[in-house]
């Protein structure tokens, strides 16, 4: 038996909006730790890792570990039927081939349930090693989204370079080239407006902008994004989900042949 009650149901809608462009079908794993997902895009270039901790739910019952295969477009269709202020409860019986999403309006005057068929998905779970990153950039998520969007209008790839000068996002395309340099800035009114660049050693990596732009669909989940770079590893683009967990996107770099 599984029963997860999320008072801020809109969070789940935002989570789906953040990942459904990247991943079509995925297993949601439920354990005493929380509600989680790990999935790659179909070409195995990017990986998404989601965790919503059990403590973040108003009620969290998961009698045994359960993996539920869902089509994310269909899940998003169902969640779209909830009101923005609704409480969402996810329910499933052991061995059932369906999951139920129950939506309650804040005043309890409207209660709906939507049942969705589950699917069998062969999923591969990957071990993500703990790593030391050469550079970690913490910046406003809206600013990162704008940079990715702007650069994608010029080129297909972005070179992210971190040096003593700051962090540089560069692209080049048929019509020209663009460079955006951000310097550390902590003299801001609100902490979420700060740009903090932590550099252990200089690093420069190239990534496909199409994926970066897809990751920025998570912007409504957090005012801050953290980008961790290492020359030997995929970049990590992390959006924290307030008091609940995170979405982390991993993207393999482009490699010079």
Partner 1 sequence: DAKQGNILSFFKRV
Binding site for partner 1 (CB under 8 A): 40, 44-47, 124-129, 157, 206, 208, 233-234, 250, 252-257
126 or 188: whose CB is closer to partner 1? 126
CB 69 within 8 A of CB 90: no
Which CB sits closer to partner 1, 45 or 90? Answer: 45
Q: Which is nearer to partner 1, 34 or 253 (CB)?
A: 253
Taking the complex as a whole, the smallest distance from the CB of residue 240 to partner 1 amounts, in Å, to: 21
Q: Residue 238 burial by CB count (10 A; 0-12/13-18/19+): exposed, middle or buried?
A: buried
CB of 105 to partner 1, least distance (A): 41
- Of 9 and 253, nearer to partner 1 (C-beta) is 253
Residue 164 DSSP code: T
Write down the least CB distance from residue 67 to partner 1, Å.
14
- Nearer to partner 1 (CB atom), residue 22 or residue 182: 22
| Nearest-10 crossing angle of helices 72-80, 10-19 | 150
Cα–Cα distance measured from residue 168 to residue 256, given in angstroms and rounded to the nearest whole number: 19
Minimum CB separation of residue 193 from partner 1 in Å reads: 32
Nearer to partner 1, 47 or 116 (CB): 47
CB of 251 to partner 1, least distance (A): 8
Of the candidates 251, 232, 255, the residue with the CA atom closest to the CA atom of residue 22 = 251
Question: What's phi and psi for 70, nearest 5 deg?
Answer: -135, 145
Contacts by 170-179, CB closer than 8 A, 24 or more apart: 171/209, 178/150, 178/151, 178/154
**Alpha-carbon separation of residue 11 from 45, 57, 113, 243, 250 (angstroms):** 26, 11, 18, 11, 21
Per DSSP, 252 falls in state P
Q: Write down the least CB distance from residue 143 to partner 1, Å.
A: 26
């Amino acid at each position: 038996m599984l029963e997860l009650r999320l008072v801020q149901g809109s969070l789940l809608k935002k989570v789906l909006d953040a990942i459904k462009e990247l991943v079509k079908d995925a297993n949601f794993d439920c354990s005493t730790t929380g509600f989680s997902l790990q999935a790659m895009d179909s070409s195995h270039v990017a990986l998404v890792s989601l965790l919503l901790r059990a403590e973040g739910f108003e009620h969290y019952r998961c009698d045994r570990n359960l993996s539920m295969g869902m089509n994310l477009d269909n899940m998003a269709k169902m969640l779209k039927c909830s009101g923005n202020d609704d409480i969402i409860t996810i329910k499933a019986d052991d061995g059932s081939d369906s999951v139920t999403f129950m939506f309650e309006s804040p005043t309890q005057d409207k209660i709906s349930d939507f049942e969705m068929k589950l699917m069998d998905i062969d999923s591969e779970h990957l071990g993500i090693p703990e790593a030391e990153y050469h550079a970690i950039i913490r910046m406003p998520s809206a600013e990162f989204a704008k940079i990715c969007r702007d650069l994608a209008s010029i080129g297909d790839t972005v070179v992210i370079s971190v040096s003593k000068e700051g962090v540089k996002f560069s692209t080049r395309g048929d019509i020209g080239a663009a460079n955006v340099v951000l310097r550390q800035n902590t003299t801001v009114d609100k902490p979420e407006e700060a740009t903090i660049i932590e550099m252990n050693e200089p690093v420069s990596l190239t990534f496909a902008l199409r994926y970066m732009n897809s990751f920025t669909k998570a912007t409504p989940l957090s005012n801050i994004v953290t980008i961790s770079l290492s020359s030997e590893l995929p970049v990590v683009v992390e959006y924290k989900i307030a008091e609940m967990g995170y979405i982390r996107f991993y993207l393999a770099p482009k490699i010079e042949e």
